Amino acid sequence: MTVGPPGTGNGPAGPLAGLLVADFSRILAGPYATMLMADLGAEVVKVESPGGDDTRTWQPPVRDGVSTYYLGVNRNKRSVALDLKDSDDLAAARELARRADVLVENFKPGGLARFGLDHAAVSATNPGVVYASISGFGSGPGGAALPGYDLIVQAISGLMSLTGDPGGDPYRAGVAVFDVMAGLHATIGVLSALHRRAETGLGQHVEVDLLSSALSGLVNQTSAFVAGGVVPFRMGNSHPSLFPYEPLPCADGELIVTAGNDGQFRRLVGVLGVPELAEDPRFLRNEDRTANREQLRPLLVERLRTRGKQEWFREIIAAGVPCGPINTVDQGIAFAEEVGLDPVVTAGEGTAAVPSIRNPIRFSGSRPTYRLPPPALDEHGAEIRAWLAAPARDEERSA
């Protein structure tokens, strides 16, 4: 097992303790993946250009002058700034790649080859490395040259054609959903390859692209076309296959109400005081309710408008029917606290500590830890360079 740079082993060991991850990625998809691995105990060395990760400059908002975008995906890492055009820095980068269990990069496909840091070059000296490449459109001749930005993929994949009011303008999602999905898919690929390496001793090249993640993540919508020949379209907040499954107005705002099966619908109309609707031939089954949504919606709204959304929320939930108010982000975090999810954690200690959102994975045994705040640019550069310059111990030479 590879031994990481100074600082490895501090605090409780997570399930990925002992793994060294060389993080040559920037922006979101790659850093999110490596942060998840770092939370689980891996030692992550974030390699940045002398100018730093682009997200350091993506502000406002800021905390103590630092971009909160950057802070959100870079905890538990150590930063070293390396200029790959400088021979000494390039030698350090190659040595880091040689010692790493995992290397994650999101350069344009082939972009690291000129530095001898592509998969073929790295695996020649480190056959056990799991080398993960994240791109926008894959490494094939048609996609390799295309820039991989989440918003572009939201447009090209079809997501924006599904988002917004019917007949209105297409909208992007409020977060870079496909960067996050690609980061998750990359993490799954890396862990799968590590499992295989435990049997064979050999690493492999894991490739993830945003467009493939997008088409997979569109699930029922892409399935509608490839399996059913149906091109989905914008329906606002309505669902193509379920009703009710959307916001409905109450006396003081909207409440998301979802009745995913006939039993939930019967309980819903019982709470609303109109149980006879469950026996109406127009609304007996889900397909009936979906086909006749324009007749059913005003009947439900008539009852919901008699009371406030929080009052209805408590009663409908108590009846076993999923529903929820439309919150702002701060209200969403407050609700997670209310239900005992403890969503906010502190990365690091003392004056450098930074509040962050908890890793969503819970274990019955080993657990995520929040050892280090997001690093300043080249914060750990001196110690990492010194470690890389020293001869590797025997256990660092084999994966």
DSSP E strand stretches across the chain? 20-24, 43-48, 62-63, 66-67, 77-81, 102-105, 130-135, 205-209, 245-250, 253-258, 323-325, 344-347, 354-357
Give ∠ CA 106-137-101 in degrees, rounded to 5: 35
Three-class SS state of 46: strand
Give ∠ CA 73-208-153 in degrees, rounded to 5: 80
Sign of CA dihedral 273, 275, 281, 284: positive
- Active site (annotated) includes residue 179: yes
- For residue 12, cis peptide bond before it (omega within 30 degrees of 0): no
> 201 is written with which tokens?
């001793």
Write out the DSSP string of 209-260. EHHHHHHHHTHHHHHHHHHH-------TT--SS-SSEEEEEETTEEEEEE--
Buried/exposed 51-70: b ≥16 CB within 10 Å, e otherwise: ebbebbeeeeeeeeeebbbb
DSSP state of 393: P
Give ∠ CA 305-307-313 in degrees, rounded to 5: 105
> 32 is written with which tokens?
């999110």
User: From the candidates 23, 179, 209, 378, which is the catalytic residue?
Assistant: 179
Residues annotated as part of the active site: 179
